[in-house]
Structure 1
Amino acid sequence: MLDETNKKYGFLLLILANMIWGGNFVIGRIGVDYFPPLLFSLLRWIIAFLLLTPFMVKQLKKDWNIIWHHKRILLLLAVTGVAGYNTIIYFALQYTTSINASVVNSTTPLFIAILAIFILREKLLARQAAGILLSVFGILYIISKGSIEMFLSWKINAGDLYVLAAVIMWASYSVIGKKYSDVLPMLTSFYASAFIGILLLAPLSFIEYLVMERSPVFTLPSAGILLYVGFLASVMAFLSWNFGVSLIGAAKAGIFLNLLPVFAIIFTLSFTEEKLYLYQIIGGGIVTLGVVISSKKSLRIKNHVQENKSSA
């Protein structure tokens, strides 16, 4: 009875995490109207870091020797997962829709599978290869809006390509984190990489201000946006996901990632003026089918989610 109750709580936590991350694409799309991308990402992680600090100081002292010994790895995690992924996503959302971004982002497991071949020496199975090719076709279908003429003339939204770059960043973060998951303590590594990410983003944000000469807009709505991305998307969703995974297991939890674009589409249609087009439905279906086919034989790769999922 207790196991069944734990599973129910686990399912609810996993659904909650993906609901928050799905909403993050919509909130992020609105947020870039108030803040430049680099500053937006910087403020997000400052809030997350400050909220975590009271609970992490003692644990950081306990894990300090391990953290310091692997400082180069933490730097890589900060560059790819904290500073890289989030900033590129916010930059991309200036040029593409929340729906496109969330669907393209759902290909993350496929890019992880590709990088795992080179970094983790994973074997590429036939079903994985088929799923990857199918999902690549789905991505191309979405970013070309289902038009062969648009694809051949390369009239493709740059924002969708930026999302792909962000996905590669996140896949790198996930594979690196998986490689060192037996060594690095999960929460402390997340906390430390967030701090390093802040140190990286601060000077870049200052340069952004000098170049763009764009000032942030601090209002009640923009404060709510920062609270969402800083607390809900960075801390609450991260903890919900990891506790959920611990209750039902990483292999079973992996399928819940497919809920992220679903929630993103629901929130987008409910709270913004974006519309859902046929090419997005078709392309999204192709991408999802590719992910499902690829994931059938790659449950080990999905373990990356347990150690690394901290933002979307």
Structure 2
Amino acid sequence: MIRTLSFNVGDVFCIASQLAWAFYSLASRKLTGHMDVLTALGWCSLCGTAGTAIYGIFSHTLILSPLPPVPFLSYLYITLFGGIAANVFWNIGVKNVGPSVSSVFLNFTPVMGMVAGYLIFADPIGLLQIIGAGVIFVGVYLTTHG
């Protein structure tokens, strides 16, 4: 059965990204023991940017294009808050409680997305979303207290 499994490129990238995140979480714990969180994030970001650029160059998919002001401000916002601030807080969490406890709280990401969608875009929250959020809260509670 295992020999008949087939993976497409997206599957491989998804698995690789999860492995990279696990490696990042473990490495950031070690790094933040020797340097402050921002310095560790800077080094990790530099390595990630270099790896992405190298891939883009060799796969001929690296495209640099100027952005008009509004899309540039959107890009800047996502970079500062969705990238830098989020990773700083993640690294602080990993430094304080470790990668295994921190990773449990990644399960709240879809719940926060649901709430943000409701508050920002007035997306409706249905019964299935409420049940899903409840299952997430119960799972995190059982994992951290069980």
Smaller-chain TM-score range? 0.7 to 0.9
In 2, the alpha carbon distance for the partners of 1:17 and 1:53 equals 16
Alignment-derived partner of residue 59 in structure 1? 63
In 2, the alpha carbon distance for the partners of 1:80 and 1:49 equals 17
Q: What is the RMSD computed on CA atoms of the aligned residues?
A: 2.8
Opposite residue 59 of structure 1, the aligned amino acid is I
Summarize the Cα distance change of 1:20–1:65 in structure 2 as closer, same or farther, 3 Å threshold. closer
User: 1:76 aligned to 2:80?
Assistant: no
Alignment-derived partner of residue 112 in structure 2? 111
Give the gaps of 5 or more residues in structure 2. Answer: none
Give the TM-score normalised by structure 2: 0.76
Q: For residue 124 of structure 2, give the secondary structure of its aligned residue in structure 1.
A: coil
Alignment-derived partner of residue 99 in structure 1? 100
Alignment-derived partner of residue 18 in structure 2? 18
User: 1:34 aligned to 2:38?
Assistant: no
Alignment-derived partner of residue 8 in structure 1? 7
* Higher RCO (CA-CA < 8 Å; seq separation 6+): 1
Deviation digits for residues 158-211 of structure 1 (CA, Å, limit 9, x no counterpart): xxxxxxxxxxxxxxxxxxxxxxxxxxxxxxxxxxxxxxxxxxxxxxxxxxxxxx
1:281-300 alignment runs, 5 A limit: none
Q: For residue 59 of structure 1, give the secondary structure of its aligned residue in structure 2.
A: coil
Opposite residue 40 of structure 1, the aligned amino acid is A
1:274-285 alignment runs, 5 A limit: 279=146
Opposite residue 108 of structure 1, the aligned amino acid is T
Deviation digits for residues 99-139 of structure 1 (CA, Å, limit 9, x no counterpart): 11111112212211221112233210101112213323443
Deviation digits for residues 5-37 of structure 1 (CA, Å, limit 9, x no counterpart): 9x6123233222212212322222222112210
- What is the count of residue pairs matched by the alignment? 138
Deviation digits for residues 236-256 of structure 1 (CA, Å, limit 9, x no counterpart): xxxxxxxxxxxxxxxxxxxxx
In 1, the alpha carbon distance for the partners of 2:135 and 2:53 equals 43
User: 1:122 aligned to 2:126?
Assistant: no
In 1, the alpha carbon distance for the partners of 2:45 and 2:23 equals 17
Give the TM-score normalised by structure 1: 0.39
Summarize the Cα distance change of 1:21–1:53 in structure 2 as closer, same or farther, 3 Å threshold. closer
1:92 to partner: Cα distance: 1.2
Q: 2:117, 2:123 within 8 Å by CA — same for their partners in 1? A: yes
1:96-245 alignment runs, 5 A limit: 96-142=97-143, 145-146=144-145
1:49 to partner: Cα distance: 3.1
Alignment-derived partner of residue 217 in structure 1? none
Q: For residue 106 of structure 1, give the secondary structure of its aligned residue in structure 2.
A: helix
Q: For residue 21 of structure 1, give the secondary structure of its aligned residue in structure 2.
A: helix
Opposite residue 26 of structure 1, the aligned amino acid is L
Q: For residue 34 of structure 1, give the secondary structure of its aligned residue in structure 2.
A: coil
